Amino acid sequence: MIDDDGSADLFNGFWPFMKRVLMLFLPLWVFLIAISAKLPLIVSAILAGLSVSLIAYLEKKKMIQNNNTIEKNNSVIK
């Protein structure tokens, strides 16, 4: 059976672009929100830095999920 899921292709093509945009703007947004909440500068900077690791974590989780589905589909015994 051929699995033709166009949404998966759209998401896979959209994620690299979205990842680059998030890597650029998410730390800036977090920093500005923390500053506007009157947090100290060092706390704002730490929160902005942690937001980048969140993006890396989500990407790793997505890669593991894709790898598991590929392995499940390539299983000899089904």
Residue 45 structural domain: 24-72
Structural domain includes residue 57? yes
Structural domain includes residue 8? no
The structure tokens 């690791």 sit at: 53
Structural domain includes residue 78? no
CA 71 to chain centre: 22
pLDDT at 5: 53
What's the predicted TM-score (pTM) here?
A: 0.60
Q: What percent of the chain has pLDDT over 90?
A: 31
pLDDT grade for 54, boundaries at 50, 70 and 90: confident
pLDDT at 12: 66
Number of domains in the chain: 1
Structural domain includes residue 6? no
Structural domain includes residue 35? yes
User: H helices within 3-75, ranges in order?
Assistant: 6-36, 41-73
